[in-house]
Chains A and B, each alone.
Chain A
Amino acid sequence: MVNRVVLNNQIHRDVRIAATRPTRENAAVNAVTVIPREFPRLLAHYPIFYTKNTETGRFEPSALLGFQPQENLFFVEGRWDAAYVPLQIQRLPFSLMTRRVNESEGKPTLDVALDLSQTVQSPEGQRLFLEDGQPTKFLQDITSMLSALVAGANETYAFTGRLAELNLIEPVQIDIEFVNGSETKLQGLYWIAAAALKALPAAQLAELRDREFLEWMYFQMASIAHVSALVARKNRQLSGVTAARA
């Protein structure tokens, strides 16, 4: 059961978050939503596709982590096996909660919340607040991570919304055969429609360039090469070989 509470420097003054993040439960996903600003760092490890948000149907970039539901091939022996962990995983078990202020007072404010059901505490862990109630460096980092995700979501939907309008996104189905002969079909994934991109009028191409979208598209397209690396991870697992540390 999710048990989210808004952080409070009195109530949570002595909370210490264990360094073991993400937890096994947090990591049990085969894809994670990412934001364009992460692309340069993600590009070193993960294949990025576009997937549809199940609540809104809108496209968002996702890093593929495994081939079966809840299979995360980057989570090996209790730790994350890549130098960069996607923000959406890093931030856990923290999240932002909307505080509904008066309708008339305009924008709702966002509070940092902690999911207590997913929190491992440890006496040696990271503190959230200093003695004087100010947030620690640790919490400040978490907060800026969460802010980046909020800003990133807005950028994401401007980006993918425009790509969809220009018919630059197309569905892709990838058939994979593993070393033990088993097969899988990756469905519900989308990527850049290369033919449409090639045929795009110059004015629209310039618009994509000016809005940084073109750069993001190329990062994402280049990341597809990691599908074979992901297959290799799976094959190593299937043949009982311990994954090499990235």
Chain B
Amino acid sequence: MVNTDPRPVRKILIVGGGTAGWITAGVLASRYPRRGEDGISITLIESRLQPPIGVGEGTWPTMRATLKQIGVTETDFLRECDASFKQGSQFVRWVDGGDSDAYYHPFTLPVGYEERNLAPYWLEDPRGQSFAVSMCFQTEACSRALAPKQITTPEFTGLANYAYHLDAGKFGPFLRQHCIDKLGVDHIYDEIVRIEGTDGGDIAHVVTKSGESLAADLFIDCSGFSALLIGKHFGVPFLSKKDVLFIDKAWAVQVPYRADDAAIGSVTLATAQSAGWVWDIGLTTRRGVGYVFSSGHMPEEGALEELKRYLGARGDLSPDLSFRKIDVNSGYRQEFWTRNCVAVGLSAGFLEPLEASAIVMIELSAKSIANLLPGCRGGMREAARLFNDTYRYRWERIIDFLKLHYALSRRTDSRFWIDNRARESIPSSLRDYLEFWRDHCPWHEDFAHREEVFSAASYQYILYGMGFQTHCASWLLNDRDRSLAREKMNETAHYGRALTASLPSNRELLSKVGRYGLQKI
């Protein structure tokens, strides 16, 4: 067979130097290390005029593999990005809004998950314990703000599964330094003023303010909300999902710790409010707090007052705090990869920060581009088709998963929560799942892809954390699995106690990492 277009794909231009741009550069450059005449070139152009969004951000455990692949040390990363260890999320007041309403979504899989689905047996006899406590030893460590490891544990490994909270404003520059110094990524500070196409419809080159013309075989649009290439140039429509996820605004604030030894939480704390929820993330140097809300359900000033009440109740309100307003436009592109241009990051799509899907989608996209990267221009069309199919699926699944948190709420105290349960606001795919899970506990086969962003384990934590009832048919249960479940739950309790006794606090370990670093082995 003759390749339809044998021109090599060897020059990659990444447009935009935020988290998306630098993760993509790092993943591609570490995966394809050959530069120069017999390799590929990777250039990143970023504007000095666009400040990064810069709020504390949550990641998924995938970040450990990503950082390792890019080739940075965990010690440098933790020190330079003010990063802390994250072991999961805690959802407060999401179910009925009462004082004791709180549950965990830890990163470690439910016990026995590798072998069997034991959720039915917890449902049958929870023994007075929540799903997360019964089925996951990590929950105890989460509730005590402990670290997921000890100072003697090698870098990127944990005694429990973990990710990070990081300062996104520092993460980009940290990766930039590494990409330029160690991975041979070329870097340009300039503004793009014009994009010029070929007759065939590809992008030929971009022209910069300083008059330079940058040609490439593949353009990666990491230009954020402005979506210079995928949006402004190609005009690929943005599909709004505001009818499903109502949140469209945020107030963000940086809160200092009140004492040098104040605890650093090891979960993202998500506290439901009357028109959305407040995120609360502990970095090593400060907390990042913000209220994401639906402006259709509450005016901006009202939301600011509610955020201030949240801070006030914890003694964190002070006149020095500066509150910043951010627009949240939930949705994604109809296509992510079109012609010789692929979008990664905010230009591809954005959802409210619930369950921290933004950075993990960047990591996954960068990895997919590296995996699909065609040798010649002729392969680009198929790479684009595969990428688009996968990512449409992934955005839809994430939307389902986020909506799940609202659809299962029983709060009736405001329109926001009531409207969130309106049938027409719930995607039919999620409605079908919820119907299916009435007598079947979520399991691997329920999902189409090998690598789901949110696996059956995540669904189990949310469903059973929120009191969803699955009535498993008695004829599908058996004594062998029942006793296995008992055994595993007992082990979980013992191991959880032993582990928490041996783990330092998040703060203690992070300050030790600051002083001594973590060993590679």
Contact A170 B516 (CB under 8 A): no
Q: Report B501-521 residues with CB < 8 Å from chain A CB.
A: 512, 515-521
Residues of chain A within 8 A (CB-CB) of B152 are 52-54, 57
Q: In the complex, which of the residues A52, A57, A190 contacts B512, with contact meaning CB atoms closer than 8 Å?
A: A57
Interface check B151, CB cutoff 8 A: yes
| Mask: chain B, 147-161; 1 = CB below 8 Å from A; 0 = not | 000111100000000
Say how far B497's CB is from chain A's closest CB, in angstroms: 20
Task: Return the CB mask of B347-388 against A: 1 if under 8 Å, else 0.
Answer: 000000000000000000000000000000000000000000
Known A56-B512, A57-B517, A169-B521; further 4 A-B contacts with Cβ < 8 A? A56-B515, A57-B151, A57-B153, A164-B521
Min distance, Cβ B512 to any Cβ of chain A, angstroms: 7
Choose from B151, B517, B518, B520 the contact partner of A55 (Cβ within 8 Å): B151
Q: How far is the CB of A84 from chain B (nearest CB, A)?
A: 28
Known: A57-B151, A57-B152. A52 touches B519 (CB 8 A): yes
Chain A residue numbers with a CB within 8 Å of B515 are: 56
Assembled-state Cα–Cα distance A228/B42 (Å): 55
Determine the chain B residues whose CB is within 8 A of the CB of A56 once the complex forms.
151, 512, 515-516
Chain A residues with CB under 8 Å of B151's CB are 54-57
Bound: A20/B486 CA distance, A: 54
Cβ of B346 to closest chain A Cβ, rounded Å:
38
Contact A167-B518, Cβ < 8 Å, known A55-B151, A57-B512? no
The B interface, classified by DSSP as helix, strand, loop or mixed, is loop
Residue-wise, chain A 179-202 has the 8 Å CB interface mask toward B (1 for contact) of 000000000001000000000000
Chain A: minimal CB distance from B86 (Å) = 20
**CA of A55 to CA of B509, assembled, Å:** 10
Report 18 cross-chain contacts, Cβ distance below 8 Å, ordered by A residue.
A52-B152, A52-B519, A53-B152, A54-B150, A55-B512, A56-B151, A56-B512, A56-B515, A57-B150, A57-B152, A57-B153, A57-B517, A57-B518, A57-B519, A164-B521, A167-B520, A169-B521, A190-B521
- How long is the Cα–Cα vector from A55 to B152 in the complex, in angstroms? 8
Q: How far is the CB of A33 from chain B (nearest CB, A)?
A: 14
Chain B neighbourhood of A190, CB < 8 A: 521
Q: Which 5 A-B pairs have the closest CB atoms?
A: A57-B151, A52-B152, A56-B516, A57-B152, A57-B519
Q: Which A40-85 residues have C-beta < 8 A from chain B?
A: 52-59
Bound together, the chains give a CA A59 to CA B152 distance in angstroms of 9
Interfacial chain A residues near B521, Cβ < 8 Å: 164, 169-171, 190
Q: Return B75 CB to nearest CB of chain A, in Å.
A: 10
CA distance A170 to B154 in the complex (A): 12
Of A57, A167, A169, the contact of B516 (CB 8 Å cutoff): A57
Q: Is the CB–CB distance between B520 and A59 below 8 Å?
A: no
Query: Of residues B150, B152, B518, which shows the largest number of chain A Cβ atoms within 10 Å of its Cβ?
Result: B152
Shortest Cβ distance from residue A8 to the other chain B in the assembled complex, whole angstroms:
33
